[in-house]
């Protein structure tokens, strides 16, 4: 049916957009090559944080690059063939780390992250799976005891925006999380958060709810998108589809799909990895981030998950098998009593723009074509509000929010003027 809004991509963003539209009575079709939420959302670290509105690039990031690439933990890597793309992307990324720019980006990220817990609970209400989202704090664990850490720009911004943060010493840290290593001497505790104990299951439950609301869920590989008269024609392996309005929410694969339309966006495939231990022998009470190794550990319904790394490579390049042993060793160092005799290994792609912000809204010059991708490390958190905004645009409602920072043409020459969509 041509009157169905067609969403390409059934990760958290696509599913939440489908739900928000269906709740308003809009017919929706959702297309993905995989089962909803099982290719990207499935492997998430599970943090749902109203306070994770800090961009990836901060003042002084450039000084830390040698250690991030070559130091003890090496949480950052770039595959050799990707360096030609990485250099221009990286230079823009570093420019966005200027203090004033960080403040601007944080202001734009905040309205996407702030309602995340409430919106997930609203979406899960009545599904019988409400316990998939649990109250939590975020434990940022440090091996040093820097009493001035709360003055760092990322924590300062959180506090200025109303976040409740506290710095605790090693005794209080081990009271909160007994399983952490004695190497950790302090932690910043960020309150008023939540965590998903099975991100893939959250996505599946919400997709099931969407289907009950009438959303058509199609499993097909999307190969091309083109304009045909006043409609968009989508070519898949199994079928072709037509729609007046299309939302591109294919994550890291979105850029390639848009190329044939002459739309070029600086989207990087920033790959992340996780190792999950089904019989860990320990339990974490909250989400714990090792601030040196840059990984997040959480107790999930299927075991203990340790997720991290930022690996830049072509979107479909093979995964780096060496990272399984590295993550396992780092997890064992952080949690000495961890039983690592059995584990599973996963790799996913974060669609990342150099300003840490997603693209949300209609593409300039392409009527009926909308973006909902580029959420970097924040996809799970930003998905519900992104879905609300896209539903607003598609139903001609004013979201009462300055959406200029998410515009699809913001990397084009010239700065767009402030615009409130209506």
Q: Is the dihedral of CA 198, 200, 204, 207 positive or negative?
A: positive
In this predicted model, what pLDDT tens digit does every residue of 20-35 receive, in sequence order? Answer: 999 999 999 999 999 9
Q: What is the pLDDT of residue 117?
A: 97
Sheet holding 369-373, edge to edge: 216-219, 28-32, 5-8, 246-248, 369-373, 359-362
Q: What is the pLDDT of residue 3?
A: 85
Within 8 A by CB and 6+ apart from 212, the residues are none
Within 8 A by CB and 6+ apart from 270, the residues are 252, 310, 311, 312, 349, 350, 351, 352, 376
Q: What is the pLDDT of residue 417?
A: 40
Q: Quick check: 358 and 374 in contact, CB under 8 A? A: yes
- H helical segments located in 24-166: 61-70, 83-95, 99-113, 116-124, 153-160
Q: In which region does residue 251 sit, left (phi positive, over 0), alpha (psi from -120 to 50) or beta (all else)? A: left
Low-confidence ranges of the chain (pLDDT < 70): 1, 413-422
Q: Which domains are present in the chain? A: 5-406 (3.50.50.60)
Report d(CA 290, CA 139) in Å as an integer.
9
- Phi and psi angles of residue 134, each rounded to the nearest 5 degrees, phi first: -125, 145
Report d(CA 124, CA 110) in Å as an integer.
22
User: In angstroms, how far is CA 171 from the centroid of its own chain?
Assistant: 32
In this predicted model, what pLDDT tens digit does every residue of 233-267 receive, in sequence order? Answer: 999 999 999 999 999 999 999 999 999 999 999 99
Q: What is the pLDDT of residue 1?
A: 60
Report d(CA 127, CA 207) in Å as an integer.
11
Report d(CA 251, CA 270) in Å as an integer.
11
Q: What is the pLDDT of residue 415?
A: 47
**Stretch (H or E) spanning 399:** none
Q: List C-alpha distances in Å: 126 to 14, 92, 156, 309, 323.
A: 20, 44, 38, 36, 40
């Amino acid at each position: 049916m041509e009157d169905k809004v067609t969403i390409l991509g059934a990760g958290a963003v696509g599913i939440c957009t489908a739900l928000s539209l269906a709740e308003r009575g809009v017919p929706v079709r959702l297309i993905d090559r995989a089962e909803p939420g099982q290719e990207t959302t499935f492997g998430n670290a599970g943090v749902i944080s109203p306070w994770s509105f800090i961009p990836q690039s901060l003042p002084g990031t450039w000084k830390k690059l040698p250690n991030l690439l070559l130091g003890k933990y090496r949480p950052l890597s770039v595959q050799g063939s990707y360096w030609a793309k990485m250099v221009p992307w990286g230079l823009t990324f570093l420019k966005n780390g200027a203090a004033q720019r960080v403040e601007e980006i944080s202001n734009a990220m905040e309205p996407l992250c702030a309602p995340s817990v409430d919106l997930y609970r609203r979406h899960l209400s009545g599904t019988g799976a409400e316990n998939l989202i649990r109250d939590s704090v975020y434990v940022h664990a440090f091996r040093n005891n820097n009493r001035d850490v709360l003055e760092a720009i990322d924590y300062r911004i959180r506090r200025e925006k109303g976040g409740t943060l506290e710095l605790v010493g090693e005794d209080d840290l081990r009271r909160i999380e007994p399983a952490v290593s004695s190497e950790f001497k302090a932690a910043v505790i960020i309150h008023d958060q939540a965590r998903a104990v099975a991100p893939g299951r959250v996505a599946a439950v919400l997709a099931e709810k969407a289907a009950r609301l009438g959303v058509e869920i199609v499993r097909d590989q999307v190969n091309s998108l083109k304009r045909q008269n006043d409609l968009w024609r989508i070519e898949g392996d199994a079928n072709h589809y037509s729609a007046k309005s299309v939302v591109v929410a294919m994550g890291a694969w979105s850029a390639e799909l848009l190329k044939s339309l002459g739309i070029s966006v600086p989207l990087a495939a920033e790959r992340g990895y996780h190792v999950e231990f089904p019989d860990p022998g320990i339990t974490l009470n909250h989400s714990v981030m090792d601030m040196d190794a840059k990984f997040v550990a959480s107790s999930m319904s299927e075991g203990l998950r340790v997720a991290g790394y930022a690996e830049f490579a072509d979107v479909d390049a093979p995964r780096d098998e060496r990272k399984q042993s590295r993550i396992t060793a780092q997890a064992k160092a952080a949690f000495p009593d961890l039983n690592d005799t059995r584990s599973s290994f996963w790799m996913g792609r974060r669609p990342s723009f150099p300003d840490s912000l997603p693209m949300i809204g209609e593409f300039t010059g392409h009527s009926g074509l909308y973006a909902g991708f580029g959420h970097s490390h924040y996809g799970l958190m930003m998905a519900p509000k992104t879905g609300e905004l896209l539903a607003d645009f598609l139903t001609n409602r004013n979201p009462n929010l300055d959406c200029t920072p998410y515009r699809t043409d913001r990397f084009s020459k010239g700065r767009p003027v402030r615009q409130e969509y209506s």
